[in-house]
Amino acid sequence: MGLIASDNFKIVIGLGQTGLACARFLATKGTSFSVVDSRENPPGADELKHEFPDVDLRCGPFDSEYLKRATELILSPGVTQKEPAIQAAVSQGVQLSGDIDLFCREVKAPIIAITGSNAKSTVTTLVGEMAKAAGLDVGVCGNIGTPVLEMLGQPEKGLYVLELSSFQLETTHELRAEVATVLNVTPDHLDRYDNQIQGYYQAKHRIFRGAKHVVINRDDALTAPLLSKNVVTHSYGLDKPDIKAFGLLEEQGEHWLSLGFEKLLPVSELKIRGSHNIANALASMAIGHAAGLPMEAMVKALKAFSGLKHRCQWVSDKNGISYFNDSKGTNVGATVAALVGLGETLSGSQKLVLIAGGVGKGADFSDLASPLQRFGRGLVYLGEDGERLAAACGNLEKVAAISMTDAVEKAADLAELGDIVLLSPACASFDMFSGFPARGDAFVDAVAVL
């Protein structure tokens, strides 16, 4: 297998989880291939050597002459195609692909493809839950955790829902999705794109190539592609929708998720809270509708969905107080988004009590002051930079805690009927926990025993 066959020899560039999945796939196809990685001891090297002892693994700087000997380069998402050796091979006519193309060549079932700067995982998961509620055997995979090629070892699904990053889309040519969407576009990964949002935007919009249906976000003009007349367009937004579009209708003070003039579900019946999550719900419905999922199943899935673990996840309602776990909020921007998103759902005298603190990584916490002044009743702070965070948060009641259990108990004491207690630390967790999942689990456990 490690010998070079001049008519069909592929090189996997970059090992790790995706590279290993590519190697396993190529082996099942009987394809001659090798693996290269710029790192001297890349993750997955031991597994590769154990599973495929005859496959050539070359570590260290890429050799352009060696790459030119391939018929196709299979590029892992973490490796930029701007590497000079890769560019040299491509200039000589070597095909450049990624794991998504390998997957698309094999599957016959329809694909829903989802990308965006934010909320990809939430919407991908939710669309998957909608498909399950409709009785479909669905594969949810891609950037969300399970490499797409690992799905090929299972019986073929009736539908695949793919979360795709801009890095994956850079090398995707053969997607041809049944439904494709860019949820939103905000500056991200600009180190990869020469500090230009244009390159990032262009990578995201590769998702629309060959799509039959596209879903656009009316609240973000950068999500709308240039399309041929043969492509069916669907839209969603937080405004009042036109006929055949998804949006919000208001009736007697209650907002409803709606399709055109048809009210589908009161926002108050969603477990996920905040304007950003209302947008995620509408996006998921628009995507599911474009894919032909029945409305009843989508509404059922929405009512049951409590959010992704550690991402503004509803945990429990206790004694008239709602508890939300946003342990994934490891930076100030994420916590501000959570404060505003949940804060805008409050009414009357309702307020937020924030639990925050940890390893601040030198961050400026001053941006927390404004949303806390607007929506906050109190702050419970803990961890290495808790005091520094508290000092930046303006004039509201502040209480120090020595553990997560202590923090939850003190937050419950501060909160009043109808309030929200939110864990969104604006910090890393490594001073007190092994990572943000352990921190979130500690919060959930502490709420459970209140």
CATH topology of domain 313-448: Protein-Tyrosine Phosphatase; Chain A (3.90.190)
pLDDT recorded at residue 328:
87
pLDDT over 70 percentage in the chain: 96
pLDDT recorded at residue 39:
94
180: phi then psi, degrees, rounded to nearest 5: -135, 145
pLDDT recorded at residue 195:
63
pTM: 0.80
Averaged pLDDT, 36-55: 95
pLDDT, tens digit, 9 for 90 and up, residues 312-351: 888 999 999 999 999 988 888 889 888 998 998 898 999 9
Per CATH, the number for 102-304 is: 3.40.1190.10
Distance CA 196, CA 200 (A): 7
pLDDT, tens digit, 9 for 90 and up, residues 373-390: 999 999 999 999 999 999
Distance CA 40, CA 43 (A): 10
pLDDT, tens digit, 9 for 90 and up, residues 275-286: 888 999 999 999
Domain boundaries defined on the chain: 9-97, 102-304, 313-448
Closest CA to 304 of 257, 272, 256: 272
pLDDT, tens digit, 9 for 90 and up, residues 7-30: 789 999 999 999 999 999 999 999
5 has pLDDT over 60:
no
Closest CA to 69 of 146, 140, 7, 120: 7
Averaged pLDDT, 80-92: 95
Averaged pLDDT, 35-60: 96
Distance CA 432, CA 112 (A): 39
Degrees (nearest 5) of the Cα angle 125, 233, 337?
45
- With cut-offs at 50, 70 and 90, classify the pLDDT of residue 2: very low
Distance CA 111, CA 175 (A): 8
Structure tokens at 14: 């970059």
Neighbours of 48 (CB within 10 A): 20
H or E segment at 47? helix 45-51
Let me know: does 100 contact 37? Beta carbons within 8 Å: no
Average pLDDT, the chain: 93
Answer with the residue of higher pLDDT: 123 or 274.
123
Known catalytic residues are: 120, 143, 189
Considering the domain 9-97, what is its CATH architecture?
3-Layer(aba) Sandwich (3.40)
pLDDT recorded at residue 191:
67
pLDDT recorded at residue 194:
67
Let me know: does 187 contact 180? Beta carbons within 8 Å: no
Q: Which of 50-54, 165-169, 247-251, 301-305 has the lowest mean pLDDT?
A: 165-169
241 has pLDDT over 90:
yes
pLDDT recorded at residue 1:
41
357 has pLDDT over 60:
yes
Distance CA 47, CA 53 (A): 10
Is 9-97's fold the same as 102-304's? no
pLDDT, tens digit, 9 for 90 and up, residues 172-195: 999 999 999 999 887 556 667 766
| Size (the chain), residues | 450
pLDDT recorded at residue 99:
96
pLDDT, tens digit, 9 for 90 and up, residues 416-450: 999 999 999 999 999 999 999 999 999 999 999 99
- With cut-offs at 50, 70 and 90, classify the pLDDT of residue 4: very low
H or E segment at 111? strand 111-115
79 has pLDDT over 70:
yes
Q: Where do runs of H (alpha helix) occur along 166-274? A: 166-170, 197-205
